[in-house]
Structure 1
Amino acid sequence: MKKLGILFCTALIIASCSTSHNKNAKKHVTDYAKTITENELKEMLYTYASDDFEGRRTGESGQKKAIEFIKKHYVDNRIPSPIADGDYFQEIPEDFFNGKAKASENVVAFIKGSEKPDEIVVISAHLDHIGVSQNGDINNGADDDGSGTVAILEIAEAFKAAEKDGNGPKRSVLFLHVTGEEIGLFGSRYYTDIDPIFPLANTVANLNIDMIGRVDPKHENGKNYLYLIGSDKLSKELHDVSEAVNKKYVNLELDYTYNDENDPNRFYYRSDHYNFAKNNIPVIFYFNGTHADYHRPSDTPDKINYKFLETRTQLVFHTAWELANRDERVKVDLKAS
């Protein structure tokens, strides 16, 4: 009986360990993607694109409120800055703006990679907009680029959740909110040309989000879609990764109309990814296209398609996750033009 008791206890311990292991088994990437929700995106965007932020014009009081909002999110979620403890602002002096704006700030936060911390995936969006019109109307910029801003905040939360579970990314991920986009891509140019916090040579890719909350006239009454620009300009491998990730996880309709070299809109040169691309860093620019409210006071949060925004944000997260965790960084095939 004594021997049987010992065997019984041993079996219980093994079973207990097995149960404990199952409870603590690593979650799948889809579990973290599901933390990105339309309700949280909506709640944040209704604040970020409210009249209180005065259109977020570079260097003005509304833009200062915007950077504090972003910083608070990172502090509350215990996502650190790569600059110094508690210092989330990359200061840009007034003279850098060539008379177009007062001194301003990029906002930066990051998740340190567990295996290849010196290799960086940059996820960017611009935090500024065009401010108040001469007649006093506030240009809230809900889509441009409030949608990209809150998308990054949700993506950062998803990566943080993974890190808390011991499942953090192998490479570091930098969350880069740039200022001065509307007046000439100043914030991203300051980061790439003047003060790259991480060496550009170590930057694996830039995923840039600029307007992903609306539907343009071409896609009305259709399925969820997104324009992708630049994915194959420097790295065929990045394009292939992007396509595979989309097919596996979210299956959006990916539209490459604006990726055409002959596109008269020249969107490839008009958002912050370009300052990375000109330095031979592979990029993807995520974009929903223009609409009637583009750069008007009517670009308000009530017009955002939050279900579409949720899925589009999840696509960027999945792509960043793959880039941060694959064995080898994506290869650069071509030189910047």
Structure 2
Amino acid sequence: MKKLLLSASLLAFIACSTSKSATNDTDANVDYAEKFAASITDKDLAKHLFIYAGDEFEGRNTGEPGQKKAAEYLKNFYVQQGIASPLGGDDYFQPVPAEFLNARKRRVPLKASENVVAFIKGSEKPDEIVVISAHLDHEGIKNGQIYNGADDDGSGTVAILEIAEAFQKAVKAGKGPKRSVLFLHVTGEEKGLLGSRYYVENPIFPIANTVCDLNIDMVGRVDDRHKDNPNFVYLIGSDKLSTDLHNISEAVNTKYTKIDLDYKYNDENDPNRFYYRSDHYNFAKYNVPIIFYFNGTHADYHKPSDTPDKINYPMLQQRARLVFHTAWEVANRDARLVVDKPVEVKK
């Protein structure tokens, strides 16, 4: 009888162990990057953008009431998602002082603006920071017309919101990133990359601890060059400082998003010099590896006609997912990105 009971117990133990093993095997087979990326949808992007690039925010001119409303919208989103501020408490604003903006020697001084920051702490390497950035400002109101800036850069801004939500879903599922992720919405880009310059000169986290900056500036439209094939995005700067970052970007796109990566504007001889014209460049100057995601210019660029009804939301979804996958891989890989092509730091 004792032997029978022992056998029964042994069988139960084996069954339990097998069940646990099967569960673990199933868990191991889940592609969490794909699972959480799927939460980034064209519907949610459109919902955000029709608000963010709506008339209520008055073109989001640096320091003006519309830009303040936009900043509050971003803060409220992060609060609702339970995504913390790196500044502590409910303070999601990094002030950019008026004297830093009057220092640009403008005929009309700019008004006391702010970067909006949110933060997910890494589970294993919290001191290493992956930055995802986009500028929150635009051109404001000119001659009574509102410059809504849906593509420039409402598209990048709402992409960050969806990417942040995807990372937060991972945290809630117990699968948060190994490295920390900083969601950085910078002000004053249209005035000369001012918010990002202020951040790198007054970083919340040391620049030496910043693993990379993935910068999203205009990813909601299709330019004339790709009108017959809208499944594209321009990548600029991915190979300038780190071969690792470039290879990761290519690999995750091949595996997940399958977008045509166009490097036309990555050419050093390109007369547009886009590499030097968005917020990533302030990070690159300090040898922080960067990628600049861009859809090219179009007829509505810097015009009141850059409105949310003209955005290609399925492509915005795919481009945002590409950024998420790249950030996910960089944040979770064992080794930090190697800067194998450093430049002389110029302050």
User: Where on the TM-score scale, by shorter chain, does this alignment land: which range?
Assistant: over 0.9
Matched, 1:302 2:309: yes
Cα distance in 2 between the residues matched to 1:259 and 1:15: 53
Name the SS of the counterpart of 2:147 in structure 1. Answer: coil
Tell me how many residue pairs correspond in the alignment: 335
Q: 2:190 aligns with which of 163, 182, 185?
A: 182
CA shift in 2, pair 1:6/1:70, >3 Å: same
Matches within 5 A, 1:17-36: 17=20, 28-36=32-40
Contact 2:222 2:230 in 1 (8 A): no
Cα distance in 2 between the residues matched to 1:260 and 1:320: 24
Q: Which residue of the partner structure matches residue 226 of structure 2?
A: 219
Q: Which residue of the partner structure matches residue 158 of structure 1?
A: 166
Residue 29 of structure 1 and its aligned partner are, at CA, apart by 0.9
Name the SS of the counterpart of 1:68 in structure 2. Answer: helix
Matched, 1:318 2:325: yes
Matched, 1:276 2:248: no
Q: Which residue of the partner structure matches residue 116 of structure 1?
A: 125
Counterpart amino acid of residue 180 in structure 1: G
Q: Which residue of the partner structure matches residue 153 of structure 2?
A: 145
- Kindly provide the CA deviation profile for residues 144-165 of structure 1, in whole angstroms up to 9, marking residues without a partner as x: 0000000000000111111111
Q: 2:45 aligns with which of 19, 26, 41?
A: 41
Contact 2:230 2:315 in 1 (8 A): no
Q: Which residue of the partner structure matches residue 97 of structure 2?
A: 93
Name the SS of the counterpart of 1:284 in structure 2. Answer: strand
Residue 336 of structure 1 and its aligned partner are, at CA, apart by 3.0
Q: Which residue of the partner structure matches residue 289 of structure 1?
A: 296
Residue 81 of structure 1 and its aligned partner are, at CA, apart by 0.6
Matched, 1:261 2:268: yes
Name the SS of the counterpart of 1:336 in structure 2. Answer: coil
Residue 31 of structure 1 and its aligned partner are, at CA, apart by 0.2
Matched, 1:65 2:74: no
Name the SS of the counterpart of 1:198 in structure 2. Answer: coil
Q: Which residue of the partner structure matches residue 205 of structure 1?
A: 212
Q: Which residue of the partner structure matches residue 196 of structure 1?
A: 203
Name the SS of the counterpart of 1:211 in structure 2. Answer: coil
Residue 243 of structure 1 and its aligned partner are, at CA, apart by 1.0
Counterpart amino acid of residue 113 in structure 1: G
- Kindly provide the CA deviation profile for residues 192-241 of structure 1, in whole angstroms up to 9, marking residues without a partner as x: 01x10010001111000000000001000214100011111111221111
Residue 93 of structure 1 and its aligned partner are, at CA, apart by 1.0
Counterpart amino acid of residue 38 in structure 2: K
Counterpart amino acid of residue 155 in structure 2: S
Cα distance in 2 between the residues matched to 1:133 and 1:102: 17
Cα distance in 2 between the residues matched to 1:11 and 1:234: 53
Cα distance in 2 between the residues matched to 1:10 and 1:327: 35
Q: Which residue of the partner structure matches residue 168 of structure 1?
A: 176
Q: Which residue of the partner structure matches residue 131 of structure 1?
A: 140
Cα distance in 1 between the residues matched to 2:11 and 2:276: 70
Between stretches 91-100 and 3-12, larger displacement belongs to 3-12
Matched, 1:336 2:336: no
Gaps of 5+ in 2: none
Between stretches 272-281 and 322-331, larger displacement belongs to 322-331
Normalised to the residue count of structure 1, the TM-score between the two structures is: 0.94
Cα distance in 2 between the residues matched to 1:6 and 1:244: 49
Normalised to the residue count of structure 2, the TM-score between the two structures is: 0.92
Residue 15 of structure 1 and its aligned partner are, at CA, apart by 6.7
Name the SS of the counterpart of 1:182 in structure 2. Answer: helix
Aligned-residue CA RMSD (Å): 1.8
Counterpart amino acid of residue 138 in structure 1: I
Cα distance in 1 between the residues matched to 2:288 and 2:317: 27
